Amino acid sequence: MDLREDGLVAVVKRDCPTCRLVEPVLAGLSRTGELTVFTQDDPAFPDGVADLRDDTELSASLALDIETVPTLVRFAGGVEAGRVVGWSRAQWTELTGVADLGEGLPEHRPGCGSRTLDPDVAEQLLVRTRGGALRSRRLEISALEDEAEALFDRGFTDGLPVVAPTPARVLRMLEGTSHAPDEVVAVVPPNLAEATVEKVAVNAVLAGCRPEYLPVVLAAVEAACTDEFNAHGLLATTWGAGPAIVVNGPVRAEIGMNWAGNALGQGNRANSTIGRALQLVIRNVGGGRPREVDRAALGHPGKVGFCFAEDEEGSPFEPLAQSRGVPAGRSAVTVFAAEGPRGVADQISRRPESLARSLALGLRGVVHPKLVRGFDATLVVCPEHARVFAEAGWDRARLQAALDEYLLLDRAEITRGAGGVDEGVPAGDSDRPLAKFRPGGLLIVHAGGGAGMFSAVIGGWAGGPGGSAPVTREVDPWR
């Protein structure tokens, strides 16, 4: 953009009353020979200016970072040496060095918003100036097509309406991270396709995310596409589990996540859309579609998207991410295999031993009460239950140890045929009790509303080799 090396530059528009007010001032300054005026909406305005330039495409306004008109800028040696926004007789006089400027005009008048900030214009400018960085294939939709129906018809949705990922929306989403759009986040199963930051941003738009959610989505995609999590195996199993996300650290509050009442349910945009974005990446980038590679016999509603934050402030336990090695005060996601949650009620126990036994009974039903060590699980401890443990001085390790003890199952009770149920573990040589979960196969999270002694068990999927292990990744590297 050709701007002055030395002298004054003004940016105006006819649609602004203040710009019309200062029209004679600009004409007078023009006679000094050191003023260039850029006009945003009418190439003939203002009258009486010798060096008048058409800026209806707003290139000069963008180069000057104009937010309000009129704006008067002084350049010295090609560098901005000062600017005045709106009309102020004293400030214009000081900046121009011209005495008796604007006689008969009010001392001060605020300006109007620059055309660069008009919502429809700002979107066009964003695409014009930064759209070349996008590499994703463009989908052309005719003027007669309904945008939402077209995305349904082309298979980009999870069965619910999605937000059309226009170039402007994708560019705004990319403002949520400093990473380059073409940086590869992960290789997404089952098709082992590369998911770039841009591809993740496209699916975050589809899901309804805000730009500030994007670093959390990127961390979740990275975690879910590891060999340890084994997203391909989780997709291909006929069991009904899918990926779920627990968020820890300062980012929870920064983006307005819910960890209180209805923490596992609907109603919070961040919770709902972050989990959905991960599932859409798996679907649209990796090819993991239901009744194709996704072979779940039943599935569950949380496979649309399952994400919630941990209540760290009210918890007697150290945060889940911290217990998994993330430094205190850092934001992180933990991705784990999850069925739909089911409640465990105990409104009577006030001793930690009794309550832990109740929760263990609820956990015993994961996959089947007579099967052990095959499937993982997550226990979500509600605040009223957590208070029982807090008052007794129990931390996460103490509760974990108690649950491990109470989930040692009598082989005689769980052997095939016992209790008249053919399902169960094979008969063995030893009568030693068997652990319900493999080591590390049970996660404990604190969340929920302040009233109601109702915790929740979230069953998982096969753990260990050939199965899926929980994976934790920091969010901050994706800022």
CA distance 41 to 14: 6
Task: Evaluate if residue 143 carries a pLDDT over 90.
Answer: no
**pLDDT reported for residue 122:** 82
Could you read off the pLDDT of 218-228 as tens digits, one per residue? Answer: 999 999 999 99
How do residues 448-463 score in pLDDT, each as one tens digit? 999 999 999 999 999 9
How far apart are the C-alpha atoms of 115 and 120, rounded to whole Å? Answer: 9
pLDDT above 90: residue 464:
no
Per-residue pLDDT tens over the stretch 290-317 = 999 999 999 999 999 999 999 999 999 9
Confidence label for 1 from pLDDT (cuts 50, 70 and 90): low
List where CATH 3.40.30.10 sits in the chain. 7-117
Q: Are 313 and 248 in contact (CB under 8 A)?
A: no
Is 90 exceeded by the pLDDT of residue 468?
A: yes
* CB 238 within 8 Å of CB 225: no
Is the pLDDT at 53 greater than 80, yes or no?
A: yes
Average pLDDT over residues 390-413: 96
| pLDDT classification of 135: cutoffs 50, 70, 90 | confident
What's the pLDDT at 211? 98
CA–CA gap between residue 444 and residue 381 (Å, rounded):
7
The predicted structure's pLDDT at residue 460 = 97
Non-local (6+) Cβ contacts of 89 within 8 A are 101, 102, 105, 107, 108
- Tell me: pLDDT of 322 over 90: yes
* 70 prior amide bond cis, ω within 30: yes
- More confident call, 295 vs 125: 295
Question: CATH number for the 7-117 domain, one of 3.40.30.10, 3.50.50.60, 2.60.40.420, 3.10.105.10?
Answer: 3.40.30.10
pLDDT tens column, 327-377: 999 999 999 999 999 999 999 999 999 999 999 999 999 999 999 999 999
pTM: 0.87
- What pLDDT, on the 0 to 100 scale, is given for residue 126? 84
Q: Does residue 241 have a pLDDT over 80? A: yes
Residue 398, token pair as written in the block: 């103490």
In this prediction, what percent of the chain has a pLDDT beyond 70? 100
In contact, 203 and 271? CB cutoff 8 Å: no
Residues 421 and 370 sit within 8 Å (Cβ to Cβ): yes
User: What's the whole-number mean pLDDT along residues 71-89?
Assistant: 96
Q: How far apart are CA 185 and CA 352, in angstroms?
A: 43
Residue 94 in this model has a pLDDT that exceeds 70: yes
Work out the mean pLDDT of the chain and round it to a whole number.
95
User: In the block, which residue shows the tokens 């604007």?
Assistant: 102
Residue 2 has pLDDT above 80, yes or no: no
Residue 96 has pLDDT above 90, yes or no: yes
